[in-house]
Amino acid sequence: MAVLPITLYGDKILKKKAIRVSKVDAKILTLINDMFETMHNAEGMGLAANQVGSHKSIFILDLSAVKGFEKFKPMVFINPKIVEYSEETIRMEEGCLSLPGIRSKVERPVGIKLLYQDIDLNDQVLEDDDLLARVIQHEYDHLHATFFTDRLDDEGKKMVKKPLLKIAARKVEIEYPVTAKGAM
């Protein structure tokens, strides 16, 4: 397993929609293992494939470091599709490994219903209305070229504009490997 550089705001790959996975081969399995290694190294809860330079429709989660989720088993989501959102919403603070140092409250639906495939490309269904649903929505957004900052109101977007420009210029301190400016 390898720690991969994380793509940052300004990298073009983060603004392209992910491509469906049709076959899980050794290359995809290596990517998934490297994604877990990278996410754990950066102390994240989730990571989308485009955050490590891949166009594949994959994201991973591991909430086991969060209080109350210690028994959580790491999960892999291939070709995910949210098919249902709850009407009830909640505002919670979010951060992102591709937006280091930026945290903001984001309103999202409390619950979701997700269709996805596991690493054997077997169809799965997941329904949740907890932290898992929020992290899934965050990572799912990455696969659709959306950052949590895109979901902020006008005032929130104004507040993050300068920090985002600093990230794109690589003028921030980051404690994990990241792509070079303009690399992707």
Q: Where are the domains of the chain?
A: 12-168
Give me the catalytic one of 84, 93, 94, 139: 139
Quickly name the fold that domain 12-168 has: Peptide Deformylase (3.90.45)
Contacts 24+ apart (CB under 8 A), 178-184: 178/5, 178/6, 178/7, 178/8, 178/100, 179/5, 179/6, 179/7, 179/8, 179/11, 179/53, 181/10, 182/10, 182/11, 183/5, 183/7, 183/11, 184/7, 184/11, 184/12, 184/13, 184/53
pLDDT tens digits, 48-90: 999 999 999 999 999 999 999 999 999 999 999 999 999 999 9
139 given a catalytic annotation? yes
pLDDT tens digits, 115-171: 999 999 999 999 999 999 999 999 999 999 999 999 999 999 999 999 999 999 999
